[in-house]
A and B are shown apart, each in its own frame.
Chain A
Amino acid sequence: MPKPLRILIWLTVAILGTLAIATIALHRGEQINAMWLVVAAVCTYALGYRFYSKFISAKVLALDAQRATPAERLDNGRDFVPTNKWVVFGHHFAAIAGPGPLVGPVLAAQFGYLPGTLWVLAGAVFGGCVQDFVILLFSVRRDGKSLTEMAREEIGRVGGFVAYVAVISIIVILLGVAALIVVNALKASPWGAFTIAMTIPIALLMGVYLRRLRPGKVLETSILGFILVMLAIWGGQWASQTPSVAQVFTLTAPTLAILLILYGFAASALPVWLLLAPRDYLSTFVKLGTIALLALGIIALRPTLHMPALTRFIDGSGPVFAGSIFPFAFITIACGAISGFHALISSGTTPKLIRREPEARMVGYGAMMAESMVAIMAMIAACVMQPGVYFAINSPAGVVGQAPEAAAATISNWGFTVTAAEMHSLAQAVGEQTLYNRTGGAPAFAVGMAHIFSNSLGGQAVMALWYHFAIMFEALFILTILDAGTRVGRFMVQDALGHIWKPLGRTSWYPSILATSALIVSAWGYFLWQGVKDPLGGINSLWPLFGISNQLLATVALCVATTIIIKMGKARYAAVTLVPLAWLVLVTFTASWHKIFNPNSRIGFLAHARQLASSAAPSHELSRLIFNDRLDATVTGILIFMVALILMESAWEWTRVVAGRKPARVKEAPFVATRFAEEQG
């Protein structure tokens, strides 16, 4: 293509993107079309990929097309396999995209669509995509080493230990909060509970079918599993309308929590092929299909956003979670903007599949852009609802009251009109008894998604089916995370305990399996139980804790990346990772400070504990709530202290290298020329 034409095209993209961002940023008091968000996102990602990621590739990382990757050098057809870049892209995207980019933006929509959207775009282009890309490339240059191994080798032993603790912490908190989202979506919902319960025998059936009848035919089995899940959704309607069955599946939040804890324990101890693997396949199948369907639905419907650009809750008084835009919008949306968890994937399976170094750009930077787009779609799904409906679904009873009329009156007084009759008819339309106080983001996202789907295909008559499809979709992959996360956590604990007593490290020794599974399940189960019993809905305290731990893991990843960049002799370009690192340190440390010490009892854990202690006569229940607040404050404090340690150790390392007191030497695998260089130019 001639250069002037290329310049013209990119100039057009830049102008269009600027126009779209100006439209979403400057419109006040009138509704805008969701397509402005889509155009702003597509143009921003295109410019970020074309110019910023290219700059990083060329100047900072100096991607070498002549250098063989571990997939080529260590090719064993098992872990290390040189794979087509589009295939690796799809594989990587399927691994990084979970419920986070769907739930975070839905919760952050309480500030209006503007803060979350801007953070998703800027956070992804300058933070998340950069983190995923550089960690992937550094892992590729170190034979696919993990983040914790790189932290230990490049920063020091403290770095390695902090990375390990950060990973375990984030897994435990993530599992607790993910389970809480499922509980809040399924409580008092016989249709949803029936459908999700049915996915367990379906997964077991798939496991047996795959192992005994059609070995290795995973796609075929997943399609069959998907058909069975669709039948389960349809059957859920029957279950909810048959009083004797509905009674069995109408479950309270504590009952659901206990069932999930038992399920998590069983799933962690059962053979992988029987439950974990088939559920993982089924969840991935549904996830990829639904994300594609949602994108098509938004483009087909081009819905109007009813949520204003900014709401009155930017002052920190929001009902969904308490706290002002800074820092809370930035920890509420992690996945979709920047997520430390991605660094685990980027230094896990993916680096062992990359065929040529330059392809790390498309896989690392590009797949994160795709996930960021999912977050934009979630923001749209939340904002197409009437704001009054959004707040009625997402506000806990402790804030708006238990009775429908009282909740509707409170929300209407905030300036977001909603009536009890409107909420009742919406609940009926989606086949639920009530939609009030369904905190956690999943039900609100499901209502938004059902709105988009039913208006694109099938009309209001199938709204209930689409709603329960969306609930099933979210719950299914959250349960997959519970299975996989509990097991990953169990292995990490076994690895560590194996240093103390060898048999505990044996992953096939049943006493060790049961003990470590129980340990991990108890840890996340405790957070889940705490959330279920929290009068403010649990999400108010647990989601920020999850956001903080996720962003702290990103801080660890960016510390590793900055250290390596400086040791590569590229200190002049260290700002590429240092700026997002500085931002995350500012955000997470401020958020942690607020969560521990803020005098507002809806924000600060200690203030809440003090309020409880002074508000009522002592009781066992009250003592437990106070203990939970103090525990949350302690966990936050320990996480912050650990990250401060790794920051100090990193800064010490940077200073010594830059001052010339330590040789700038990276621990990369030696250079070997690739045999793929010629065929691809």
Chain B
Amino acid sequence: MRKMRRFVEILVATLREIFDESAYARFLGRNGLNSTPESYAAFLREHDLAAARRPRCC
């Protein structure tokens, strides 16, 4: 049961990382902000350049 829970935790963490939710959470933590459209816009400004430069493989 514990292993199953660990598996689900890892799966959710992986999805959150792939979908940049973790990056957003780190951004909020780093800047002491709450999640609002304004803070998300600020996160996107910081994050967009890196995201746009990230190649997607063939």
B positions within 8 Å CB-CB of A? 10, 13-21, 23-30, 35-37, 39-41, 43-44, 46, 48-58
Contacts and interface: CB of A to CB of B under 8 A. Distances in A.
24 contacts: A77-B26, A77-B30, A87-B14, A90-B15, A91-B18, A95-B55, A96-B57, A99-B58, A100-B57, A174-B58, A178-B58, A210-B40, A211-B37, A211-B40, A215-B40, A217-B21, A344-B55, A345-B57, A348-B55, A349-B54, A477-B56, A485-B55, A507-B49, A546-B58
Interface string A453-492: 0000000000000000000000001001100110110010
Contacts of B36: 215
B30 to A, nearest CB: 5
A99 B46 CA distance: 29
Given A218-B19, A345-B55, A488-B53, A91 B48 contact: no
B39 A95 contact: no
Contact of B43 (A79, A216, A284, A288): A216
A26 B26 CA distance: 55
A84 B12 CA distance: 12
Contacts of B44: 211, 272-273, 277
Most buried by A among B14, B36, B58: B58
Nearest to A89: B14
B10 A87 contact: yes
Nearest to B53: A491
Contacts of B51: 272, 276-277, 280
Interface stretch (A2-10, A13-21, A187-195, A334-342): A334-342
Nearest to B17: A87
A488 B54 contact: yes
A491 B48 CA distance: 13
A368 to B, nearest CB: 11
A491 B49 CA distance: 10
A78 interface: yes
Contact of B55 (A89, A90, A341, A546): A341
A281 interface: yes
B48 A488 contact: no
A384 interface: no
Interface in A318-348: 334-335, 339, 341-342, 344-345, 348
Contacts of A277: 44, 48, 51
B13 A341 contact: no
A488 B52 contact: yes
Nearest to B6: A86
Contacts of A217: 21
Interface in A250-306: 271-273, 276-277, 280-281, 284-285, 288
Given A83-B17, A87-B10, A341 B58 contact: yes
A84 B28 CA distance: 20
A108 to B, nearest CB: 15
- Nearest first, the 8 A-B pairs at minimum CB distance are A215-B40, A90-B14, A100-B58, A218-B19, A216-B24, A272-B48, A77-B26, A484-B56
A150 interface: no
B14 A273 contact: no
A215 B19 contact: no
B18 A97 contact: no
A288 B57 CA distance: 14
Contacts of B43: 216
Contacts of B13: 84, 86-87
Given A91-B17, A94-B18, A341-B57, A215 B52 contact: no
Contact of A272 (B15, B52, B55): B52
A481 B25 CA distance: 27
B52 A84 contact: no
A398 to B, nearest CB: 26
A222 to B, nearest CB: 6
Contacts of A96: 57
Contacts of B10: 84, 86-87
A274 to B, nearest CB: 10
B30 A219 contact: no
Nearest to B43: A216
A550 B58 contact: yes
B49 to A, nearest CB: 7
A178 B56 CA distance: 12
Contacts of A77: 26-27, 29-30
B13 to A, nearest CB: 5
Interface string A53-93: 00000000000000000000000011101011011111100
Nearest to A488: B55
Nearest to B15: A219
Contacts of B23: 78
Given A78-B26, A95-B56, A216-B24, 6 more contacts: A77-B27, A100-B57, A272-B44, A284-B19, A348-B54, A485-B56
A212 interface: yes
Nearest to A341: B57
Interface string A513-548: 000000000000000000000000000000000100
A276 B52 contact: yes
A98 interface: yes
Contacts of B46: 78
A558 to B, nearest CB: 17
A306 B45 CA distance: 52
A550 B55 CA distance: 14
Contacts of B55: 95, 171, 341, 344-345, 348, 484-485, 488
A91 B56 CA distance: 12
B39 A81 contact: no
B57 A342 contact: yes
B57 A218 contact: no
A90 B17 contact: yes
B19 A484 contact: no
Contacts of A210: 40
A540 B15 CA distance: 38
Nearest to B41: A211
Contacts of A273: 44, 48
Contacts of A339: 57-58
Contacts of A100: 57-58
